């Protein structure tokens, strides 16, 4: 069974929109429990909210609930044929668009690498040491939400 939204809202995260974000995650996972859990791990680590635009030290911004980096705006705009300003607005203010973009980023990294944990790291950064640190943080978030049994060897499909 896939977890539902955490009852308590993380400090600094507005409570509004959490139910909608949860519904977006369920929808984006397309009935794939492993993907839903992955998106929850990324969500819990990123800690964004609808309307979030967090300035990074490199001048980019992390946008919306899944904190999709603004570096992706041009790439998503090119793939969708939409204006970059529209993409940025949707990433910031429309939770399902934001979650769908996060899913696409993660699944693209998974397709390119063939490695689940490397794809999790690439969601955050192209830099290896940042990837390693991020993966460890996501593992902690996944264990916190789903319990340590999530990583048990006998917890595969059909178990």
Max alpha carbon distance in the chain (Å)? 47
Can you give the pLDDT at residue 7?
Answer: 34
pLDDT of 12 over the 90 cut: no
- The residue with greater pLDDT, 3 or 37, is 37
DSSP state letter for 56 = P
* Structural tokens at position 79: 């793939």
pLDDT tens digits along 86-122: 999 999 999 999 999 999 999 999 999 999 999 999 9
**Nearest-angstrom CA–CA distance, 39 and 41:** 5
pLDDT of 76 over the 70 cut: yes
Closest CA to 93 of 11, 24, 26: 24
- The residue with greater pLDDT, 15 or 25, is 25
**Nearest-angstrom CA–CA distance, 56 and 17:** 23
* Structural tokens at position 75: 């790439």
pLDDT of 16 over the 90 cut: no
Closest CA to 124 of 135, 108, 111: 135
**Nearest-angstrom CA–CA distance, 70 and 92:** 10
Domains and CATH numbers, the chain: 18-148 (1.10.530.10)
Task: Scan for tokens 């993966």, then name that residue.
Answer: 135
């Amino acid at each position: 069974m896939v977890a539902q939204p955490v009852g308590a809202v993380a400090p600094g995260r507005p409570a509004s929109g959490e139910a909608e974000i949860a519904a977006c995650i369920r929808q984006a996972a397309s009935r794939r429990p492993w993907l839903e859990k992955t998106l929850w791990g990324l969500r819990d680590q990123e800690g964004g909210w609808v309307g979030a635009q967090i300035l990074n030290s490199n001048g980019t911004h992390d946008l919306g609930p899944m904190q999709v980096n603004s570096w992706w705006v041009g790439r998503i705009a090119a793939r969708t044929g939409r204006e970059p300003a529209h993409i940025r607005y949707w990433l910031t203010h429309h939770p399902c668009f934001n979650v769908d973009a996060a899913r696409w980023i993660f699944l693209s990294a998974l397709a390119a690498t063939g490695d689940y944990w490397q794809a999790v790291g690439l969601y955050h950064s192209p830099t290896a040491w940042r990837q390693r640190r991020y993966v460890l943080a996501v593992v902690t978030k996944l264990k916190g939400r789903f319990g340590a049994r999530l990583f048990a060897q006998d917890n595969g499909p059909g178990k």
